[in-house]
Amino acid sequence: MASPDPSLPDYPRAPSALRKWGQGFAAFVRRGNVVDLAVGVMIGAAFGKIVTSLVTDVITPPLGLLMGKVKFSELKWHLGGPADAPVTINYGNFLQAALDFVLVAWVLFLVISFVNRLHRKPPPPAAALSLDQKLLTEIRDELRKPRETPPPAEARPEMAGSAGR
């Protein structure tokens, strides 16, 4: 791009911050991490709906029956207000959401534990010993061997002549 003043030299323009950001984002998307993350989020959302249905439709009704025919969605504190639009704190919905969370976390823990067991790698083979380590191992093994007790001095021929001196 030519400079507006003809007396100034024509230098190439530095890329704008927005252009640098766009190039960095494009490189990030091309790496593949974004696609993996998107697939994980979609599967997680679908899985969350399944577990929420399990909690809401299968686990909570018997739990409410055991607690005296209580529906968690109907547990609330009335703070006041008119009868047609009362002001309430719906703590039953909170309890339902907390139970959903705990069960989702527990099921995810079980799934991840199962997947980790499937992908467990065997331990790598032991590295070969260096020459120093081999020599030290041989010395250690020699020192661990039981020693033979030497015969008494008079029974040894080299010591017999020096005993009388």
| pLDDT per position as a tens digit, 49-94 | 887 788 778 887 887 788 787 777 788 888 888 888 889 898 888 8
Residue 70 in contact with residue 64, Cβ under 8 Å? Answer: yes
Residue 70 in contact with residue 46, Cβ under 8 Å? Answer: no
pLDDT value at position 136?
A: 92
Q: Where in the chain are the domains?
A: 24-120
Tell whether the model's pLDDT for residue 159 goes beyond 60.
no
The CATH class, in words, for 24-120 is: mainly alpha
* pTM of the predicted protein model: 0.44
Tell whether the model's pLDDT for residue 1 goes beyond 60.
no
pLDDT value at position 139?
A: 93
Residue 73 in contact with residue 93, Cβ under 8 Å? Answer: yes
